Amino acid sequence: MKDLARFSGKPLQKDPKPRSEQVPPPAVQVQLVTISEEEAGQRIDNFLLRVCKGVPKSHIYRVLRSGEVRVNKGRIDQTYRLAAGDTVRIPPIRMAEKTQSAVPGAEFTILFEDSHLLIIDKPAGVAVHGGSGVSYGVIEQLRAARPDAKFLELVHRLDRETSGVLLLAKKRSALTNLHEQIRGGEPDKRYFTLVQGDWKNNRQHVKLSLHKYSTPDGERRVRVQSDGMASHTIFNLIQRYEGFALLEAELKTGRTHQIRVHLASSGFPIVGDDKYGDFALNRLLQKAEEGRPALKRMFLHAHQITFLHPETGQQMTIRAKLPPDCERFLKSLTKTV
């Protein structure tokens, strides 16, 4: 090729740039979006972050401050709450190119589903959402499995190692209604948990204020602290075993790691809890022994929730059976009075 260029008298041409560098992507046009009933009630910044996939958050707030985003032809700030029928002007913003999603779609055991709600039985070991070193969780997998779903959001959260009932909203009106119920303390959430120790009372209230903090390596933790958030859990004794007790926990407040810290601080750590539990016992129980299967998870299961249906107002109680690995472990223990 070099010889051919020399004899032709033409300068040697460099290799052409990749096509993506030669041809700029088409310009993005102004978008006019009419807000539906389901989209109403959310802040304009949150709406834009959801609609403008792949656009840096800093850029979203920049166009909001500049006045390029208009609602009904007027300027608004980032705290404006959208109303049904609003017309939103979204300026030309270059979106990230759609790529093949790296999130594997997955469905989970469905406990209830209608046009407003999706309620699943979340397995232990699965995060509810990505973040903090987790690439994706339940919500991302469900969205990948249901690409045509117009709306799907978590109503509440469960710790990664906690199994059981998890509510998701399929409409914004349902999400708003359920969040109002949660703020009002209306949903009744119940958990089964196995603790180490000789539990005495059939029914016991624990009221310990909790403070959330991060460890030097960024891990989220909670401790009992007098100036922390007021927290209240009621524990009901279900069954005593030799060295253990099966309890039902009623959440009266919904603080991070509330059940785990209330029990550990009361001297009854949850079996398998890798943050607040008895680490030596956990290691021992991870290995099967004669007559006892291995337990390789935290024994905390959201077994029941009672709430009002966001559309009909009818009271609903949803239950999730204790997982098989927890059932097998309980059967291997010796019951006591």
Write the DSSP string, 293-310. ----S--EEEEEEEEE-T
Q: What is the DSSP string of 259-303?
A: HHHHHHHTT-PBTT-TTTS-HHHHHHHTS-BTTB----S--EEEE
Which positions are catalytic? 159
Question: Which candidate, 298, 284, 297, 317, places its Cα nearest to that of 111?
Answer: 317
Question: Which candidate, 242, 244, 275, places its Cα nearest to that of 257?
Answer: 275
Taking the C-alpha atoms of residue 108 and residue 123, their distance in angstroms, rounded to an integer, is: 8
Q: How far is CA 267 from the centre of its chain?
A: 29
Q: Could you report the per-residue pLDDT of 105-138, keeping only the tens digit for each?
A: 888 999 999 999 999 999 999 999 876 667 789 9
Tokens of 37: 């009933």
Q: Which residues of the chain have pLDDT under 70?
A: 1-28, 54, 94-101, 131-133
Tokens of 127: 């995060």
* Dihedral angle over CA of 54, 56, 60, 63, nearest 10: -110
pLDDT given at position 218: 74
Tokens of 219: 């891990």
pLDDT given at position 8: 39
pLDDT given at position 39: 77
Taking the C-alpha atoms of residue 219 and residue 162, their distance in angstroms, rounded to an integer, is: 17
Tokens of 247: 């309890």
| Domains assigned to the chain | 28-93 (3.10.290.10), 109-169 (3.30.70.580), 186-336 (3.30.2350.10)
Taking the C-alpha atoms of residue 222 and residue 215, their distance in angstroms, rounded to an integer, is: 10
Q: Could you report the per-residue pLDDT of 45-88, keeping only the tens digit for each?
A: 888 887 887 688 788 888 899 999 999 999 998 889 898 899 99
pLDDT given at position 221: 93
Tell me the backbone φ, ψ of residue 222, rounded to 5 degrees: -140, 140
Taking the C-alpha atoms of residue 120 and residue 126, their distance in angstroms, rounded to an integer, is: 13
Burial class (CB in 10 A: 0-12, 13-18, 19+), 130: middle
How are beta strands 232-241 and 244-251 bridged, if at all?
antiparallel
pLDDT given at position 9: 44
pLDDT given at position 133: 67
The owner of tokens 């999603």 is: 101
